[in-house]
Amino acid sequence: MKISRPYLLLRAVVILIALAPLPSAHAALTIEIIGTGANQFPIAIVPFRAEAGLAQAVTPVIAADLTRSGVFRMVDAGGLNPPPYEPQDVNYATWRARGADTVVIGSIAPLSDGRYDVRFRLMDVAKQAQLAGFAYTADATQLRLTAHRIADVIYEMLTGDKGVFSTRIAYIVKKGKRYELQVADADGYNPHAIFWQDEPIISPAWSPDGTHLAFVSFKDKKAVVYVQSVITGKNWPVANYWGSNSAPTWSPDGRTLAVVLSKDGGSQIYFINTDGKGQPRRMTFSSAIDTEPNFSPDGELMLFTSDRGGSPQIYGMPSAGGDPRRLTFEGTYNVSPRFSPDGKSFTFIQRNGGRFNVAVQDMTTRQVQVLTDGFIDESPSFAPNGRMILYATEVKGRGILSAVSSDGRVKQRLTEDAGDVREPAWGPYPK
């Protein structure tokens, strides 16, 4: 393989830049990437025409998104004068020499109404042809989102999987006595608290359409399940029965919440309406703990954690009701099941020795793969494309969010400037 020395140097610089923390001017969360995918797509992203003067550059966000996925390698796109902005400007020999399989070019032009016209093209170096090209109209506040959408298109074109860069995550931040339910972009930018109080908040759960979050609040000196509109900020209690009310999860049609109530003694799973009206319908009937329900994407199955067999294990049962079947058999502590978006596997927390780690189990073969190696990993949830799993972990006694690729190869760490971050939930695709 012929690689000139300057090229190697360039590559080293590019990697360093990719690994360096992102500028944190707009971010409370900073992302760190560990590991790389088995196969990486070498891609060059040329800064868009007229991008330099903008408060929000677009191409660095695209590059950061793709780098974070672990399956892209950034190829240096600098040093060309003039840089290519249109297909006819692309000198494919240059890009072949730099080792890029694809090149992203584009432009940003202000419109008369103050908005921007953002155009991009994804060019295939070998075929010397355009793979994708889109134009967007965005105001200044939407430029980051536009960048995420472009990254989504590139990711899908090249990997065949839908991108998740324009999705959002929810999580809880504890700052002293204060607890905040925050929503942020999938890259940790634009975090904002949508609910806060001086009592604990746990278990945020996205509605399938991404418009609502269910969560458990201890404001009433006990666990009560609330639903809040992410759009209006309005919230209302949906389960406030005698005893504890917790562990909400939405049915895929968004009409039903499964919750855990202790109103009849013991922690058992019930279905309730999302407006909190009507009578809860009891779904499990054990004298043990049944908790952490989660629906399969088609709504047919429900997973949950139960210690009916003597230790907490994961069980599955028909959502319409029926006999639960035990699914996990390795180890004495398997909890917090969450289905993958294709329903073929589920992620959960498994205790290994003294450690709690994120694992994935295949629904058919029952094969288990442990993906993380932290001491206290908690609350795993799949990205809507099934490629990454977001979870909470602890570093030096402080809670941080991490994500791991579903093959375990790529890990990202999202850290908060202040406070203890926990209970993440990856939101659905935007509708």
Partner 1 sequence: MKRLLTGLSVLILLALAGCATTTKEQEGAAVEDRGAPAGPPAAAPKPAPDTGAKPLVGKPLGAAALKDPGNILSRRSVYFDFDSNLVKDEYRPLVTAHARYLQQNPGAKMRIEGNADERGSREYNIALGQRRSEAVKQMMQLLGARPDQIESVSFGEEKPKATGHDEAAWAENRRADIVYQGE
Tell me: does residue 240 bind partner 1 (CB under 8 A). no
Q: If you count DSSP H runs as helices and E runs as strands, how many of each does the chain have, helices first?
A: 4, 30
User: How many residues are there in the chain?
Assistant: 431
Beta carbon of residue 168, minimum distance to partner 1 (angstroms, whole number): 22
Q: How many residues bind partner 1 (CB under 8 A)?
A: 44
Residues in CB range of 411: below 8 A, 6 or more apart: 33, 34, 35, 372, 402, 403, 404, 405
Give 76 or 292: the residue with its C-beta nearer to partner 1: 292
Q: Site mask, partner 1, residues 269-308, x = CB under 8 A?
A: ------------------xxx-xx------------x-xx
Considering only residues 378 through 397, tell me which ones interact with partner 1, judged by CB under 8 A.
Answer: 378-379, 397
Give 157 or 288: the residue with its C-beta nearer to partner 1: 288
- Short-list 250, 225, 230, 205, CA closest to 425: 205
Q: Is 345 helix (H, G, I), strand (E, B) or coil?
A: strand
Stretch that binds partner 1, among 81-89, 130-138, 195-203, 360-368 (CB under 8 A): 195-203
Query: Crossing angle of helices 59-69/143-159, nearest 10°?
Result: 40
Q: Pick the binder of partner 1 from 128, 130, 137, 332 (CB under 8 A).
A: 332
Stretch that binds partner 1, among 116-124, 217-225, 276-284, 338-346 (CB under 8 A): 217-225
Q: Pick the binder of partner 1 from 197, 229, 262, 369 (CB under 8 A).
A: 262
Q: Is 93 helix (H, G, I), strand (E, B) or coil?
A: helix
Give 232 or 287: the residue with its C-beta nearer to partner 1: 287
User: Can you tell me the distance from the alpha carbon of 72 to that of 66, in angstroms, rounded to the nearest whole number?
Assistant: 6
Residues in CB range of 374: below 8 A, 6 or more apart: 355, 356, 357, 393, 394, 402
What's the token pair of residue 88?
């006819």
DSSP conformational letter for 48: P
Tell me: does residue 176 bind partner 1 (CB under 8 A). no
Give 162 or 308: the residue with its C-beta nearer to partner 1: 308
Give 185 or 423: the residue with its C-beta nearer to partner 1: 423
Tell me: does residue 398 bind partner 1 (CB under 8 A). no
Indicate the residue type of 278: G
Residues in CB range of 231: below 8 A, 6 or more apart: 211
User: Can you tell me the distance from the alpha carbon of 208 to that of 324, in angstroms, rounded to the nearest whole number?
Assistant: 25
Stretch that binds partner 1, among 119-127, 218-226, 229-237, 275-283 (CB under 8 A): 218-226
Sign of the dihedral defined by the CA atoms of residues 169, 172, 174, 179, in that order: positive
Stretch that binds partner 1, among 45-53, 77-85, 107-115, 332-340 (CB under 8 A): 332-340
- Short-list 84, 70, 68, CA closest to 122: 84
Q: Describe the chain by its helix, strand, coil percentages, rounded to 5.
A: 15, 45, 45
Tell me: does residue 376 bind partner 1 (CB under 8 A). yes
Give 159 or 249: the residue with its C-beta nearer to partner 1: 249
Stretch that binds partner 1, among 70-78, 206-214, 348-356, 403-411 (CB under 8 A): 348-356
Give 296 or 305: the residue with its C-beta nearer to partner 1: 305
- Short-list 202, 200, 193, 205, CA closest to 220: 200
Tell me: does residue 118 bind partner 1 (CB under 8 A). no
Stretch that binds partner 1, among 37-45, 49-57, 130-138, 327-335 (CB under 8 A): 327-335
Considering only residues 17 through 46, tell me which ones interact with partner 1, judged by CB under 8 A.
Answer: none
Which residue's entry shows tokens 């375990």? 408
Stretch that binds partner 1, among 43-51, 107-115, 150-158, 237-245 (CB under 8 A): 237-245
71, with CB counted inside 10 A (0-12, 13-18, 19+), is buried
Q: Pick the binder of partner 1 from 221, 234, 277, 396 (CB under 8 A).
A: 221
Give 59 or 381: the residue with its C-beta nearer to partner 1: 381
User: Can you tell me the distance from the alpha carbon of 306 to that of 301, in angstroms, rounded to the nearest whole number?
Assistant: 15
User: Can you tell me the distance from the alpha carbon of 288 to that of 285, in angstroms, rounded to the nearest whole number?
Assistant: 9
Beta carbon of residue 98, minimum distance to partner 1 (angstroms, whole number): 48
Question: Cis bond leading into 82, ω under 30°?
Answer: yes
Q: Pick the binder of partner 1 from 59, 67, 102, 203 (CB under 8 A).
A: 203
Residues that bind partner 1 (CB under 8 A): 200, 202-203, 216, 218, 221-223, 242-244, 246-247, 260, 262, 265-267, 287-289, 291-292, 305, 307-308, 310-312, 332-333, 335-336, 349, 351, 353-356, 376, 378-379, 397, 423
